[in-house]
Amino acid sequence: MIDDIMQSATARMAKSVESLKHELAKIRTGRAHPSLLEHITVNYYGQESSLPKVANVNVEDSRTLMITPWDKGMVPAIEKAIMTSDLGLNPVTSGTVIRVPMPALTEDRRRDLVKVVRHEGENGRVAVRNIRRDALSELKEALKEKLISEDEERRAQEQIQKVTDKHVKDIDKLLDEKEADLLAV
């Protein structure tokens, strides 16, 4: 009973941390990274597909992404999808290859992005705490129904708190890395 609650809470907290990692990867730093374009969808012969499914996305240098479509006819559609995305990027086409230069971030934009990162991190912490709350309420229910003793409940609460602290520390570490990445010129 207690093991099931612990495993469920731990798995859900780990998913929350992974979700935060995924959200932070979308936040653009001054450096080029293929994950920046993962959420862009392209109209591929009438069907919406993500960019990595219709083209090869590579890092050419620290400030340029190089996109090579599988189908040469997709170049204009990919270029349009990148231009209309919320990233503010201007692709440059040369034949069948699309290059996406990453403009340098201004100091104000960097500060704004740090605020966004901190907000995402707080959302991650809240999610982990909500999972802890759910697990503790499950323990209280089990205690009410006399499925576990008070000592077992107290030990389980301590274990859940340790797991929560570990995941919050992981979130803080992710935030520190992303902030350092954003503020690096």
pLDDT, tens digit (0-9, with 9 covering 90-100), for 141-163: 988 988 888 899 999 999 999 99
The structure's pTM equals: 0.67
Strongest mean pLDDT among 27-31, 90-94, 170-174: 170-174
Strongest mean pLDDT among 13-22, 80-89, 108-117: 13-22
DSSP state for residue 182 in the 8-state scheme? H
Sequence-ordered alpha helix ranges (H) in the chain: 2-26, 51-54, 75-84, 107-144, 150-183
Res 133 pLDDT > 70? yes
Computed over every residue of the chain, the mean pLDDT equals 86
Token representation of residue 20 = 């935060």
Contact 69, 98 (CB under 8 A): yes
Res 10 pLDDT > 90? yes
What domains are defined for the chain?
A: 2-26+106-183 (1.10.132.20), 34-101 (3.30.1360.40)
Closest CA relative to residue 71, chosen from 100, 34, 42: 42
Helices 2-26 and 107-144 pack at an angle, to 10 degrees, of 170
Q: What's the rounded Cα separation, in Å, for the pair 87 and 27?
A: 9
